[in-house]
A and B are shown apart, each in its own frame.
Chain A
Amino acid sequence: MVLSSGVLMIAAGTLITTLVTEAVLYVWVYRTQSFRSVRDQLEAFQQTQDALGTAGKPKSRGKKIEREEDRLKREVTREMGRLRLKQAVVLIGAMTFLWRSLMPIYAGKPAAQLPFEPFKLLQRITHFGLDGPATDCSMTFVYTLCQMALRPSITMLLGLGPSRKMQEMMQPAALTQAMTDKES
């Protein structure tokens, strides 16, 4: 197989599976009333805080705002937990399907040429299943790069999933801060 068409085929396959997974997640999660309600309430709450100038300042807020924030955090945690589980199921299924479709085509053959010689640890991925020179690139590495490069941008372009605020609230630092604020 011509190298150039091979690598483009992997990129196209990743693009298509990403669109399909986002479509499935949209139907299964993003369009549900509970998900949209939490996302919109969080956005409205954040705008209220920004307008009052109390965003990121726990001590200047009243009890009412704190209770509202705690309520939103609980709901976000619940919704994000459901989302993560469903995302995992859909993503693992799609990625496994794509992987198993591409592997027979590229078994033992390079998918691309690397413009650099990778160090030994990286060669485990870049040279996976290959025998030739170190600059031969395996399908595995191209597939991994496509997942890392294309998937997040496509997800953001579609704008369907959790908002940035929801994702921030699920960060371990934010959850720890929430627990510390509650104790104090």
Chain B
Amino acid sequence: MSLVSQPSGSKKQQKIYQSPGAQPLRLLWRACLINPEKVWEKTELLDTLYWIRQASGLSTGLVWGVLPLTGLNAFIGFTIASTTLILLWYKSQRLDEEEYGGHVSLLAEGFAQSLALFMLTWIIVYTVMHAS
């Protein structure tokens, strides 16, 4: 027995699964509209955090590669910038972190991928602009 009722009739209508993460621009735009009254659904929130992380990794890598900023300072700068951005954003949303898995869960969302994207962008831009 299933709690999910199937529509009657000879042809079953297939419910279409909509992944919120497949629309990063829409999520990022909504993230910019800081609205503490908005109630976030967990999947949508985590996907938004993921794309904010990727955007910060990409933009930091571009800037660091153009300047250029080299060495360990660049890694430290990226980590501080990215984490601060995420922290400030979900604080501005006035979320109850425990409801969404806690601070660690929210801060860790997409971090590894954004670090890889940051390094990739940083290396590519540095190689293109400054390497002989």
Contacts and interface: CB of A to CB of B under 8 A. Distances in A.
Interface of A: 3-4, 7-8, 11, 36, 39-41, 43-45, 48, 50, 64-65, 67-68, 71, 112-117, 137, 142, 145-146, 148-150, 152-153, 156-159, 163-165
B128 interface: yes
B46 interface: yes
A113 B128 CA distance: 9
B127 interface: yes
Most chain A CB neighbours (cut-off 10 Å) among B18, B21, B72: B21
Contact of A113 (B14, B117, B130): B130
Contact of B17 (A50, A112, A117, A163): A163
B4 A156 contact: no
Nearest to A5: B128
Contacts of B72: 116
B interface SS class: helix
A45 B3 contact: yes
A149 B43 contact: no
A148 B113 contact: yes
A39 B17 CA distance: 8
Contact residues on B (Cβ < 8 Å of other chain), bracket: 35 or more
A163 B15 CA distance: 14
Contacts of A137: 123, 127
A112 B123 CA distance: 7
A8 B128 CA distance: 9
Contact of B22 (A48, A116, A157): A157
A115 B124 contact: no
Contacts of A150: 117, 120
A152 to B, nearest CB: 5
B43 A68 contact: no
Contact of B14 (A40, A43, A142, A152): A40
5 contacts: A3-B127, A50-B41, A112-B123, A156-B50, A164-B43
A43 B68 CA distance: 46
B42 to A, nearest CB: 8
B3 A68 contact: yes
Contact of A153 (B15, B54, B74, B119): B54
A116 B120 contact: no
Given A68-B3, A115-B126, A146 B120 contact: yes
Nearest to A37: B14
Contacts of A67: 1
Given A64-B3, A163-B17, A113 B126 contact: yes
A81 B120 CA distance: 32
Interface in B54-96: 54, 57, 64-65, 68-72, 74-75
